[in-house]
Amino acid sequence: MGEKHLRTFMNEDVKKLGELFKSKRKELNLSLKEVENATSIRTSHLEAIEEGKKDRFLSPVYMLGFMRQYAKFLELDGEKLIEEHPGAVKLEQEKQEFSYGIGTLERRNSMGGGVKWLPNLLWGAVGVGVLVIAYYFAKYLGLF
């Protein structure tokens, strides 16, 4: 099976599953806003599920989680739906690129990573100065 044919199959599966969700919601006479209020899934995500638009999700994992929650709310068997429509929720391995930036080459907590220790040193010196002044002031007033 070619990659293009596989993607078409997966898109059709997503649309079929979305239509099933939409018809069940309408059967229960619920609006998307009511479903959003009950499930805390944004209307835009509910619409994406019902329209079969996988690209509106940050990751396929989010879509899968939302579908399970939506199915549970509609009193559908989410696991059975996922088994029946494997192409709809196939977690594709996306090739992610990782590039090393300047900040990734420095060691953590190293002095060479910038002058991040200077503000702490200054605040420490101010704190010690305040304590010394408070001591001499208290000594001057005869409290010691």
- The answer on pLDDT for 129 being more than 90 is yes
Question: Which residue shows structure tokens 């059709």?
Answer: 12
Pinpoint the alpha helices (H) of the chain: 3-27, 32-39, 43-51, 60-73, 78-84, 118-140
The CATH class, in words, for 3-84 is: mainly alpha
Q: Encode pLDDT of 16-66 as tens digits.
A: 888 988 999 999 999 999 999 999 999 999 998 888 888 888 888 888 888
pTM, 2 dp: 0.56
